[in-house]
């Protein structure tokens, strides 16, 4: 082939590839099958579904389930023998229709030293395996993994594998955990699925619509399984409900709100939020982060105009704006979207940035349709499964990255550096 022919072929090939891309684009992966993680072969005394969550500055709540009644006891310490200290806690269970949960144990351990590995053993059997967790650091930097709408599918597994490799310090989940959707054994399966991660790093969660599980006339109490299984540190933040709470970690004040409980201006949640924001000390926690489930900003066609989004925003957006909240994470929409700093639908440099990260891997699949044209306030949007990493480097700078599950590889597909309001003199505190 002559030189000129070769160049012509190359040109045709290049055009062809571009054409193919233009015609077919990126092929969206379909939902993957739901997993059910069975109880391993161990006996009914064996601890399972272990997860931990931070309580106060230097304590950790360890939660696990056994089929039989066993002691709520934890032996722990900084050496692999895990026997320097021991603490006891309490046990509960719940009924849901014909289902009766296992024995749900909770023990709060501490005070703990920051940024080190602790070894721990559950129950009082010497044969109980030794597990380990790492405490959060006492100073910047700190790395949060952020996943919404996690569910339990093969996509969930892929997301968890990526998160596990991210070397995160704490996981934040803006609602929709197990997608048990009334079938309680799926809560147990979810507990087993996340245990390898959730038993090693604190998982801090808030609830979504899939946690409500209320059936009129048959099971009138909402959030039965969620509240029994995922006790978050609400008492320590002056909240009267497990559905909304706050805590400090390093220099970040994190507020978890409840989209599916009252949020109007006369509600206990609103009053609690008002008081919580007033008490933020920016010298101690230069960053303020809020998590909700139903997003206040969303340019996907899914979940438009829902009560929890529209009315909660109308009620609470002003509070977050006046308090100079830095960033708001939401879930619910099964896609990724990052907005600019926005207040009352308009770009505002002194308002929070909004990020929707409801793409963890649930069985309902992705929300692929968008409002066209893209609103100016939406900066980046894509319907792919994945997770986010929010790395707070110091009091003034943080890096946000979105990692998409591209053919099971975690690929950084969106990233942005941004600065805290506490370091920004143009937005008065
Ligand atoms: Fe949801």
- What is the tens place of the pLDDT at every residue in 212-222? 999 999 999 99
- Is 342 within 8 Å of 354 (Cβ atoms)? yes
Which residue's structure tokens are 């970040």?
A: 252
Superfamily of chain region 48-134:
Purple acid phosphatase-like, N-terminal (2.60.40.380)
The rounded percent of the chain whose pLDDT value lies above 90 is 84
Tokens of 137: 């650091």
Q: What is the DSSP letter of 114?
A: T
Q: pLDDT-based confidence at 27, cuts 50/70/90? A: low
CB atoms within 10 A of CB 325: 22
* Cα–ligand 1 centroid distance for 242 (angstroms): 18
* Cα–ligand 1 centroid distance for 28 (angstroms): 20
Compute the distance between CA of residue 250 and CA of residue 202 in angstroms, rounded to an integer: 14
- Is 291 within 8 Å of 426 (Cβ atoms)? no
- Is 206 within 8 Å of 293 (Cβ atoms)? yes
- Enumerate residues 6+ apart whose C-beta is below 8 A from 389: 143, 144, 145, 146, 166, 168, 399, 400, 401, 403
| pLDDT given at position 159 | 95
Q: Clarify whether 387 is annotated catalytic.
A: no
* Cα–ligand 1 centroid distance for 293 (angstroms): 7
Compute the distance between CA of residue 424 and CA of residue 422 in angstroms, rounded to an integer: 6
CATH architecture for the domain at 142-423? 4-Layer Sandwich (3.60)
* Cα–ligand 1 centroid distance for 128 (angstroms): 37
Asked if the model's pLDDT at residue 15 lies above 80, the reply is no
Q: pLDDT-based confidence at 28, cuts 50/70/90? A: low
* Residues recorded for the chain: 429
- What is the tens place of the pLDDT at every residue in 255-292? 999 999 999 999 999 999 999 999 999 999 999 999 99
Got the DSSP string for 9-76? HHHHHHHHHHHHHHHH-SPPPPP-PBP-----SS-TTS-EEEEEEEETTTEEEEEEEESS----EEEE
Residues forming a β-bridge with 330: 356
- What is the tens place of the pLDDT at every residue in 42-91? 788 999 999 999 999 999 999 999 999 999 999 999 999 998 999 999 99
Phi, psi of 255 (to 5 degrees): -115, 125
- Whole-model pTM? 0.92
Torsion of the alpha carbons at 87, 256, 264 and 293, rounded to the nearest 10: -120
Compute the distance between CA of residue 156 and CA of residue 384 in angstroms, rounded to an integer: 12
* Cα–ligand 1 centroid distance for 103 (angstroms): 28
- Is 209 within 8 Å of 233 (Cβ atoms)? no
Domain segments of the chain as ranges: 48-134, 142-423
- Is 351 within 8 Å of 321 (Cβ atoms)? yes
| pLDDT given at position 55 | 98
Q: How much of the chain is in helix, strand and coil states, percent to nearest 5?
A: 20, 30, 50
303, 324, 387, 403: the catalytic one is: 303
| pLDDT given at position 425 | 85
Phi, psi of 154 (to 5 degrees): -65, -30
The least confident of 126-135, 237-246, 420-429 is: 420-429
Handedness of CA 422, 424, 425, 429 (dihedral sign): negative
SS3 label, residue 210: helix
Q: What stretches of 67-183 adopt beta strand conformation (E)?
A: 73-77, 85-88, 90-92, 95-96, 99-100, 103-109, 117-122, 131-134, 142-146, 170-174
């Amino acid at each position: 082939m002559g030189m000129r022919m070769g160049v012509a072929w190359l040109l045709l090939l290049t055009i062809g590839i571009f054409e193919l891309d233009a015609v077919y684009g990126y092929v969206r992966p379909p939902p993957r099958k739901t997993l059910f993680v069975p109880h391993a072969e161990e006996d009914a005394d064996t601890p399972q579904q272990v997860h931990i969550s931070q309580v106060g500055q230097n304590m950790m709540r360890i939660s696990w389930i056994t089929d039989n009644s066993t002691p709520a006891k934890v032996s722990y310490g900084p050496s692999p023998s895990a026997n320097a200290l021991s603490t006891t806690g309490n046990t509960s269970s719940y009924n849901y229709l014909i289902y009766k949960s296992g024995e749900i144990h909770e023990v709060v351990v501490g005070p703990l030293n920051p940024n080190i590995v602790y070894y721990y053993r559950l129950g009082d059997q010497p044969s109980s395996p030794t597990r380990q967790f790492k405490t959060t650091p006492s100073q910047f930097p700190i790395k949060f993994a952020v996943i919404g709408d996690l569910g339990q599918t093969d996509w969930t597994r892929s997301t968890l594998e990526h998160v596990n490799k991210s070397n995160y310090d704490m996981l934040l989940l803006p609602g929709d955990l197990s997608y048990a959707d009334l079938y309680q054994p799926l809560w147990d399966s979810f507990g087993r699925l996340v245990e390898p991660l959730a038993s090693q790093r604190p998982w801090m969660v808030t609830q979504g619509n899939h946690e409500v599980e209320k059936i009129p006339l048959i099971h009138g109490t909402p959030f039965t399984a969620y509240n029994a299984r995922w006790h978050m540190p609400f008492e320590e933040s002056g909240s009267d409900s497990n559905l909304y709470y706050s805590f400090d970690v390093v220099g970040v004040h994190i507020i978890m709100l409840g989209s599916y409980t009252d949020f109007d201006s006369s509600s206990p949640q609103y009053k609690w939020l008002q008081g919580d924001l007033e008490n933020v000390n920016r010298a101690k926690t230069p960053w303020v982060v809020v998590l909700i489930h139903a997003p206040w900003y969303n340019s996907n066609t899914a979940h438009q105009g829902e009560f929890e989004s529209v009315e909660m925003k109308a009620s609470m957006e002003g509070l977050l704006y006046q308090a100079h909240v830095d960033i708001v994470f939401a879930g619910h929409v099964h896609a990724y979207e990052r907005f600019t700093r926005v207040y009352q639908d308009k770009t505002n440099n002194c308002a929070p940035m909004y990020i929707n990260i409801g793409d963890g891997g649930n069985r309902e699949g992705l929300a692929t349709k968008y409002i066209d044209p893209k609103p100016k306030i939406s900066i980046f949007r894509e319907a792919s499964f994945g997770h986010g990493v929010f790395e707070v480097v110091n009091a003034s700078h943080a890096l946000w990255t979105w990692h998409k599950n591209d053919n099971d590889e975690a690929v950084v597909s969106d990233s942005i550096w941004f600065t805290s309001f506490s370091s920004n003199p143009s937005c008065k505190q």
